[in-house]
Amino acid sequence: MALVEATSISKIYRSGDVEVAALWDVSLSIEAGEFLAFVGPSGSGKSTLLNLVGCLDHPSKGSMKVMGTDVTALDRNAAAAFRGEHLGFVFQEFNLVPVLSAYENVEYPLLMVRSWPPEKRHAQVMKLLKAVGMGELAHKRPDQLSGGQKQRIAVARALVSEPQVVLADEPTANLDHDTANKVIALMKHMRDEFGTTFIFSTHDSKIMEAAERVLLLEDGRLIKEQKS
Ligand code: ADP
Ligand code: MG
């Protein structure tokens, strides 16, 4: 069974009488453990597609199965529970909670979705902070960290609940070249270590090179598939 199975997905946005097909008749299948990127020009539908895989949005047409579950049939609460159980997210803007320390940011999803005893939770948070090279900076708040450090924390937060899939929307867009390369290498290491599937949306040639499969979108259509 494929991890993600999208069949003839379309997403139409309406504003007034104008309709925009953000995605049109997209079918794809993603296997567990892939390190894969959706690429294409701005407005081509990358984020829309990532959000549909991430159960953050519903398609207008078509079916989306994630781990065998038809996620288009889930209501808001069920989708939130599914995300908490199976998915992790990394965003371009990091989206850390500013008033929480690095430690607390990573701990947060565990408090929400896993009822683990405090010792197990602490051990897991520290394991992830160390894995992303941030064990020493656990007490810092986001405004005391560099962009690269913030994205490391975001990667730790995405992985802390041991999701099967991490969805990362332009995760290197706010990072300089060297930092971006380090964060990409870190995510690949995490894939190798934990078997987590990584799905990116990106413009970044560094991610395209690192990706093992690249799906090219243009005007909402999946036009090409490249394997490196
Ligand atoms: P990308 O991530 O590749 O830049 P998006 O998925 O964000 O592209 O957008 C694809 C298309 O859908 C664009 O034309 C965009 O303007 C449109 N779009 C995205 N979100 C919305 C929305 N909430 N309402 C209306 N149009 C949208
Ligand atoms: Mg986008």
- pLDDT tens-digit profile of 62-113? 999 999 999 999 999 999 999 999 999 999 999 999 999 999 999 999 999 8
pLDDT for the residue numbered 205: 93
Q: How far is the CA of 144 from the centre of ligand 2 (A)?
A: 27
User: Quick check: helix, strand or coil at residue 179?
Assistant: helix
pLDDT for the residue numbered 222: 96
Structure tokens at 101: 């320390």
Task: Extract the runs of DSSP E, i.e. beta strands, from the chain.
Answer: 4-15, 18-30, 35-39, 61-66, 69-70, 87-91, 165-169, 197-202, 213-218, 221-227
Predicted TM-score (pTM) of the model is 0.93
> How far from 63 is each of 50, 73, 92, 144, 152, CA to CA, in Å?
14, 9, 27, 43, 33
Which residue's alpha carbon is nearest to atom 15 within ligand 1?
Answer: 43
In the structure, ligand 2 is a single-atom ion and the residues with CB under 5 Å from it are 46-47
CA-CA-CA-CA torsion sign (79, 83, 86, 91): positive
Instruction: Report which bound ligand comes closest to the CA of 92.
Output: 2
- 38's CB contacts (< 8 A; 6+ apart) are 46, 49, 50, 199, 200, 201, 202, 215, 217
CB atoms within 10 A of CB 202: 24
CB atoms within 10 A of CB 226: 12
Q: What number does the ligand 1 atom closest to the CA of 169 have? A: 2
Instruction: Report which bound ligand comes closest to the CA of 15.
Output: 1
Question: Angle at which helices 177-194 and 147-159 pack, to 10 degrees?
Answer: 20
pLDDT for the residue numbered 227: 64
User: Quick check: helix, strand or coil at residue 90?
Assistant: strand
Residue indicated by tokens 């199976």? 86
CA angle 169, 137, 179 (to 5 degrees): 40
| Residue 221 to residue 85: CA distance in whole angstroms | 30
Across the beta sheet with 35-39, the strand order is 87-91, 165-169, 197-202, 35-39, 213-218, 221-227
pLDDT for the residue numbered 226: 74
| Residue 148 to residue 183: CA distance in whole angstroms | 7
Q: What number does the ligand 1 atom closest to the CA of 170 have? A: 2
pLDDT for the residue numbered 154: 95
Best of 47, 49, 200, 207 to mutate for ligand 1, by most ligand atoms within 8 A of CB? 47
Q: How far is the CA of 82 from the centre of ligand 1 (A)?
A: 24
Which residue's alpha carbon is nearest to atom 20 within ligand 1?
Answer: 48
Q: Is 20 in the pocket of ligand 1 (CB under 6 A)?
A: yes
Q: Is 44 in the pocket of ligand 1 (CB under 6 A)?
A: yes
Low-confidence ranges of the chain (pLDDT < 70): 227-228
Eight-state DSSP code of residue 204:
-
Structure tokens at 221: 């259509």
